[in-house]
Structure 1
């Protein structure tokens, strides 16, 4: 009887441990947040009629209107598909882009579709940063037997960082010096923030998540 009772007690303890482990789910026992900013890029393209002398006035106006419709701003990257432009066209695009205090990027991303002869493709790359899954209160009522970090840990800090960064690409790779004083680029970022050119973040963005940081 003693042996039987010991076996039964061992089985009961194992069952309880398994049950408690199942209730706890995946747990983060570190002090690092599992909710991190994710940067997504979107490419917008416009094919313009061009010739040896560059862009006709009508196409320059069309390009300017397109930039205005996109609400071009700091953090956007504008490039020209290399095989579709001549120096005169590059100068035309650069002049219009200069109105936004932006410069053409050296390289262009790969885009879909074929560019017809006699046309130049202009590409605007826009990046946004979000923190998927925030806020996350799914473990609010769970028993925390392992003293694990809350699933919502870091949501407020990282969501605000994603919403406030002037150029989301900086979260991937920091900026390199282009020869200009650092204050020049920092002032542009501050100006973008003051002008309200940063993305709005709703409840899905997690800025209302709160919780321990």
Structure 2
């Protein structure tokens, strides 16, 4: 009888140890693996700038400057937040020329869809010896940065816990950080654009008349790659 009780106690101890092992295996860090927590993407505020050198007497923007301003305007429309600020030099020999070029800059920005309401102006003190003090364009943007990959400290040949390795999901997070159009979208969702009232009225009118509300499809919408077998 004593041997039987001892044996039962041994079984209970073994069972308890087994449960504790299972509890460790199914812990929150292992069972609820979240790649965004292990390899987070940091979203940081940054300032994009474009310097346009203006020698004294320059009447307006050069062709190369117009190309640069156009590209900068495209970046602002895609990822800019807040106003696009234009800083003009004050106290330098080219201050007058910079003011004259400012009109060309505004026109170049307007051609690329950046209206005057989106612009802000501010002077800055330039050195009296700086004959080509630049006109500075700047705007606030966000940049995304993921964690570094390459942690091979864990051996994959003997993993009895069966948990993801340290690098799991790291490449995906880095690719996402590099591809996202505007990292600010990772901080909060964008506001919804207004509804298309004209399209809504068209659909409702067709629905009332019992007509199809679907958009007309053409041959290009068939999804067929080739018509050889037809």
Q: Taking structure 1 as the reference length, what is the TM-score of the superposition?
A: 0.44
More strand by share: 2
Identify which of structures 1 and 2 has the higher relative contact order when contacts are C-alpha pairs closer than 8 Å and 6+ apart. 1
More helix by share: 2
Higher alpha-carbon Rg: 2
